[in-house]
């Protein structure tokens, strides 16, 4: 549960917001570097594009289900090792 809320919050704090990439942020620097490397645009599916998508809309339902499954299983393993 913490990851499903915490990860988007961290992404937003980097400058990937619902209103777009925040000026002067780490996100803006990443976008600039990606655009320069790609000849002027940010490629669809690139790290910057995916992070902006999460910052704007949060995780998709599929991503939420996948993260919940993976992190729940990881939590079970860690709990079993600590017990």
* Position 57 confidence tier, pLDDT thresholds 50, 70, 90: confident
pLDDT at position 72, please? Answer: 78
Judged against a pLDDT cut of 80, whether residue 5 lies above it is answered with no
pLDDT at position 1, please? Answer: 65
CA-based max dimension of the chain: 53
CA 4 – CA 48 distance, rounded (Å): 19
Judged against a pLDDT cut of 70, whether residue 46 lies above it is answered with yes
pLDDT at position 76, please? Answer: 83
pLDDT at position 24, please? Answer: 94
Burial of 21 per CB tally in 10 Å (0-12, 13-18, 19+):
buried
């Amino acid at each position: 549960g913490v990851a499903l809320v915490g990860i988007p919050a961290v992404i937003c704090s980097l400058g990937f917001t619902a209103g777009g990439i925040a000026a002067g942020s780490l996100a803006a620097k990443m976008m600039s570097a990606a655009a320069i490397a790609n000849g002027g645009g940010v490629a669809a599916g690139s790290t910057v594009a995916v992070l902006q998508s999460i910052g704007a809309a949060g995780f998709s339902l599929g991503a939420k289900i996948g993260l919940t499954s993976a992190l729940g299983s990881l939590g079970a393993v860690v709990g079993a090792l600590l017990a």
